[in-house]
Amino acid sequence: MGERKRHLVAGFSGGLASAVALQPLDLIKTRVQSGEKGVIGVLRGMESWTELWRGTVPSAIRTSLGSAMYLTTLHVMRSTMTISKQTSLHGSSKLPKLSALENLGSGMLARGIVGFITMPITIIKVRFESNMYHYSSIAEATQIIWKHEGLKGFFRGVGATCLRDAPYAGLYVSFYEQLKISLPKLLNWEGEFDVKGSALINSSSAIVASILATSITAPFDKIKTNMQLKPEKYFSFMNTLKLLVSEDWKRLFDGVGLRLLRKAGSAGIAWCIYEELVKL
């Protein structure tokens, strides 16, 4: 299997696994951010526990394809940027080694590009998860959005999404790569690791990096969700920011706990699978 194809398959597999496993957290977060009162209120309002997986199909499409494109694009960028282009196994990872600034820049650029490309399916995913829209299929959602909102309907909140995802990805990659170096030193582990050892280091690094990056970018996630679910009221980034701050600035952090759990879990699953598969 070619190198780029291996990264595509590894990214797709990790993204798909994390999307299906963690869809309930994503759905609850979306509903909390849309105005429903708390996790308990969301759960009580459900007719069946299977409703927790509503929106799994668009979520799985977005996350699997998005992860495949993002991680492959990121790898190509980082391989191009690194002087030696060395990808031989070192410690727990087989990825190119770059400076913190290079990791930050490559992560932001790759995520920004892929985030824009996957924006239409992101809109459909968020609306499927909420209680405000009742689409029966992706095809129906596409037709309704196109009919009532036109092309721009598929790109609601694209600015807020980029302001959330690009910095998140840049910070995440930078933190993640540094943690993969620091954790083995803290544990006094040296040399190459077996599968269990590298999986532990990579998953732990991914979880901690995700928590840090998610905490910093949380307000943009709230703004993005409101713009996508209530475009009549929240029609621009600055308008949404002003309204949320005037109502209660703490609303900018609605659902942050759920997003932390979801992002940490997703990073731990997706990046561990990705790192191990690219070694094959």
DSSP at 93 = B
141: containing domain = 3-277
- Give the CATH number of the domain where residue 71 resides: 1.50.40.10
Q: How confident is the model at residue 163, as a pLDDT?
A: 86
Q: How confident is the model at residue 37, as a pLDDT?
A: 76
Residue pLDDT, tens place only, 232-267: 999 999 999 999 999 999 989 998 999 999 999 999
Q: Residue range 70-98: average pLDDT? A: 72
Paired with 90 in beta bridges are 93
For residue 218, pLDDT beyond 80: yes
For residue 88, pLDDT beyond 50: no
Q: How confident is the model at residue 195 (pLDDT cuts 50, 70, 90)?
A: confident
Q: Where are the alpha helices (DSSP H) in the chain?
A: 3-33, 38-44, 56-81, 100-117, 119-129, 138-149, 158-186, 195-229, 237-248, 256-277
As for how many domains the chain has, the answer is 1
Residue pLDDT, tens place only, 138-171: 999 999 999 999 999 999 999 888 989 999 999 9
Q: How confident is the model at residue 1 (pLDDT cuts 50, 70, 90)?
A: low
Task: Tell me what the pLDDT averaged over the chain comes to.
Answer: 89
Q: How confident is the model at residue 113, as a pLDDT?
A: 94
pTM, to two decimals = 0.84
Cα distances (angstroms) measured from residue 206 to each of 40, 154, 200? 29, 30, 10
